[in-house]
Amino acid sequence: MTTFILFIIILGLIVFIHEFGHFIFAKKAGIHVFEFSLGFGPKLFSFRRKNDETEYMVKLIPLGGYVALAGEVYDEEDEELKKIPEDKRLYNKSFLRQLSVLVAGVFNNFVLGLVLLFIIGLSFGTSYSTNELSELNKNYPLYKLGARNGDKIIEIDNKKTKNFDDIQTAIAISGGKKTLSIKIKNKNNEIKTYKVKPKYDKENDSYYYGISVKTKNEKGIVSSIKFAFTKFISIFKSLIIVLISLFTGKLGINSLSGPVGIYQVVGIAKSSLLSILSLTAYLSINVGFMNILPFPAFDGGRAFLLIIEKITGKKVPLKVESMINEIGFFILMGLMLFITVKDVLKLF
């Protein structure tokens, strides 16, 4: 039960922050907002504020949310839309106002991620991982091949590595079981390349390369700000690498996780406040990253069409845009269903 409640709180916070971005920018732009909803499906409860056209609601399925704006979708028979003045519809606002409304959710997710990372740094101290090897285990492959403490891992499979996040991402993309080409610079600035085959540990059912790196610990407001931005960039870069690897086939769709996978991770993270804050920050940045992608139904897809309109000077018909977004939505729902079923099957 604790895991479920925590799952709802984390997901609810990330969704609320995202949708609130769309909502507040739309209100500031003078756009009519029909609904602000957390969740999908049957309505649990709703309310309206005095002198406010928006209906605020919470729905049964807590896996997302939305803000319904006037002029956002095409529906020539929408009687409610016909009552809204033209100047209060999204498509009649300036390019910059429309763009700000579309990307505001992503912006809020990134800000939430940065704030949480700053809180982590301020509360628990900052820990910067490096690419410098430290406390190598003599029984594992990397040491046996000749690497020593103080050496630096500068590349793994032709991917540059500046810190442990880069190293972890490179290993994850490889699948964690194959032989890696690891380029190392020693204390004399000599560069050597090692072909490292991981060692299998039967007891833990895991593969180990024997990579251990040096970390730097700091405290204070300045170091916390530095940590927040450094970690944000590192997470963002790893997401880009994962996305590219999915397109190139280095990572399969089976490597993706959906709500069930997240629920399992929440169950593990609930043991400490640090883990909960770290997971929430990562998920918020992840949601922002996914939404900025130029794919139909994502905020980035709609922003992309808007930018194309600005460049070409030709407006994409609202009917066509709505159709593109609907197709993208169904593809997205199909992918989500597939990933969810995959995650459920892993439980058995």
Positions annotated as catalytic residues are 19
Tens digit of each residue's pLDDT (9 = 90 or more) over 180-236: 898 999 888 889 898 988 888 777 777 778 888 888 787 889 989 999 998 899 888
- How far CA 163 is from CA of 76, 82, 203, in Å, comes to 54, 56, 29
272 falls within a domain: no
Residue 161 in any domain: the answer is no
In a domain, 11, yes or no: yes
Distances (CA, A) of 338 to 39, 73, 173, 335: 20, 27, 21, 5
Max mean pLDDT range (98-107, 240-249, 251-260): 98-107
pLDDT of 74 reads: 60
162/155 Cα distance (integer angstroms): 8
In a domain? residue 192? no
Burial class of residue 45 (count of CB atoms within 10 Å of its CB; 0-12, 13-18, 19+): exposed
Q: Do 276 and 203 form a contact (C-beta atoms < 8 A)?
A: no
Total domains present in the chain: 1
Q: So what's the pLDDT on residue 316?
A: 75
Main-chain dihedrals φ then ψ at residue 262, nearest 5 degrees: -65, -40
Structure tokens at 335: 């992918």
For the chain, how long is the longest CA-to-CA vector? 75
Domain contains 96? yes
Q: What's the pLDDT at 16?
A: 95
Tokens of 327: 């197709």
- pTM of the full structure: 0.82
Element (H, E) at 144: helix 141-145
Contact call for residues 66 and 56 (beta carbons, < 8 A): no
Give the model's pLDDT for residue 46: 92
Residue 48 lies in a domain: yes
Q: What is the DSSP string of 213-263?
A: EEEEEE-SHHHHHHHHHHHHHHHHHHHHHHHHHHHHTSS-GGG---HHHHH
Contact 104, 24 (CB under 8 A): yes
d(CA 305, CA 299): 10
- Residue 229 in any domain: the answer is no
Tell me the residue range of the domain where 309 lies: 2-122+282-346
| Within a domain: 276 | no
